[in-house]
Amino acid sequence: MSLIHENIKYLRKQMGLTQEQLSEKIGIKRSVIGAYEEGRAEPGVANLMLFAGFFKVSVDELVSGKLKKVEAKQNFQKNGAETLKILSITVDKENKENIHLVPYKAAAGYLTGYADPEFIAELPRFYLPIFPEGSYRAFEIRGDSMLPIVPGSIIVGSFVENWDYVKEKKTYVVVTQNEGIVYKRLLPLKEKQSFSLISDNPIYPPYEIKEEDISELWEAKAFISTEFPRADNSIQTLNEAVSELKEEVKRLKK
């Protein structure tokens, strides 16, 4: 399904341009741009390349990816020029965003395909009505660094548009090229423009990652697991001790 008309209009507005201003910048008549944005016509290859080059997105993203702007904090430099980073998503028949699942086996592919609309579209998708409107993604985690969240659990995260929004000691799914996809607590180290990544399992020491090395951040909102929590024996023991103490007090009063 082509989303050209939505994307051209969206990207134009993100740059604060009118149709007339965009027309002057790229040399396409305003009436033609209006027809593209209203879905009355579709650009040919030459104009597609003009739009893609001007907005600094790929032709595939312009045609098939529903684009969402990532705030300036996540903009990056490419060949000396600032490039707009985007989040690729899909929507259902009611235009609600799908939650895509990144299985553990697809984690390596996600590191290079997270911005590729075709890769994202191939991932399993679902919808959870308990979440408000927004962008969510689910990641299957491995390892025991975040016990009691067990390996194989699925973490559902809300997309973080700006690193300044990170909450101290909150859990996040962190996507980096060097460390892969990890689930950790984050401690912002603003003076160093980095984060300390902390495991809940104390046998794993914290480590540091630079902001510039992070591809995506997803704030953990829920988890899905087939393993139910076990009864807390420490609480049971405490209740038994309290009961024994009460009985002892009763005996002393007699």
Residue 148 · residue 160 · CB < 8 Å: no
> What is residue 94's predicted lDDT score, i.e. its pLDDT?
76
Residues of the chain with pLDDT under 70: 1-2, 64-86, 229, 231-242, 245-246, 248-249, 252-254
Which pTM does this prediction carry? 0.63
CATH of domain 67-254: 2.10.109.10
Judge whether 195 and 179 are in contact, CB under 8 Å. no
Query: In this structure, what DSSP letter does residue 82 have?
Result: E
Helices (H), 89-210: 107-113, 117-122
Classify domain 4-64 at the CATH class level.
Answer: mainly alpha
Four-residue CA torsion sign, 215, 128, 125, 42: negative
Say if residue 35 is exposed, middle or buried (CB neighbours under 10 Å; 0-12, 13-18, 19+). Answer: middle
pLDDT for res 83: 38
What digits encode the pLDDT tens for the residues 199-248?
A: 999 999 999 999 989 989 999 999 999 887 676 655 565 566 667 766 76
* pLDDT on residue 227: 84
Domain residues of the chain, as ranges? 4-64, 67-254
pLDDT at 17 (0 to 100): 81
- Residues 87-120 as b/e (b if ≥16 CB within 10 A, e otherwise) read bbbbeeeeeebbbbbbeeebbeebbebbbbbebb
Q: What is the pLDDT of residue 92?
A: 77
Amino acid (1-letter code) at residue 169: K
